Amino acid sequence: MTLPLFIIDAFTDRPMTGNPAAVCPLQEWLPVEPMQSVAAEMNLSETVFFVPRRGGQQSETARDFDVRWFTPTREVDMIGHATLAAGHLVLERLHPTAEIARFASPTAELSVRRDARLLQMSMPALVPQQIAEPAGLAAALGAKPAAVFAAKHYLAVFDSVDVVAGLRPDFAAVADLPLPAVIVTAKGEGEFDFVSRFFAPANGVPEDAVSGVAHCCLAPYWAEKLGRSEMKGRQLSSRGGVVLCQYNGKNVLLGGTATIFLEGTIRL
């Protein structure tokens, strides 16, 4: 069996920057084992598979899909940058007349639509609540945060951009924390409202280059702190990326671009 596969860099307009995802469009689902094996073979932070949704809209302007996401080690329940990459493939290559691609899983509904020169992705907001600092968090990160919040993941807030940029976590210790990942953030400087990094070693991803899911938590947090609904974030990974954020009280809208770096076929 041969299948098409693309590597698409998300939240960037230049190849080999932003966050790469492997994108595999299917006509029908494969068993879990070969999908996980493909994700392990690609060894990127995420590989996304999607199929046309039975009973969904399949028109010239809108396309509906069912979606599944895999890290190199496990299936996960919601991923942002890989969905933006899948939306880019649908709207720019597979169905270029469509204006919106909708992706549904048992746990989340996401959409990617054209927005002028950008793509805009809608994701459920993950509103963080302040908690007591968990035992071992500061030691795992290598610095003590000013405050700690939690939603799906920990959100550790620091006082400066330089501290966030300079963190060198103990990934084994981060993986041992009760929640599966840690977002770190600080108020930004210049054109950026905030900066962040995202560590998810328990999911097989020590540091994610540019995380959509992290911004589902960051956008509500910074919207409240800054008193506005539109913000510009910079993720400070080695590849780096920029995410335009809007928060409407229910969903987070993330704006960005993507570019196809590699395309080919795989043999199973």
Return averaged pLDDT per consecutive 10 residues of the chain, 268 residues in all: 97 94 98 98 98 96 98 96 98 97 95 94 98 98 98 98 98 98 97 98 96 98 98 95 95 97 98
> Does 46 qualify as catalytic in the annotation?
yes
Q: Where in the chain is CATH 3.10.310.10?
A: 2-123+255-267, 129-249
pLDDT for position 116? 86
**CATH number at 129-249:** 3.10.310.10
Among the listed residues 28, 33, 41, 46, the single catalytic one is 46
Provide the whole-model pTM. 0.94
Rg value, the chain, Cα? 18
Residue with tokens 């280059």, as numbered in its chain: 209
- Counting DSSP H helices and E strands in the chain, the numbers are 6, 17
Return the exposure string of 23-34: e unless at least 16 CB atoms fall within 10 Å of the residue's CB, then b: bbbbeeebeeee
Domain 2-123+255-267 falls under CATH 3.10.310.10: yes
CA-nearest of 110, 7, 99 to 53 is: 110
Structure tokens at 87: 């939306």
Residue with tokens 């597979």, as numbered in its chain: 94
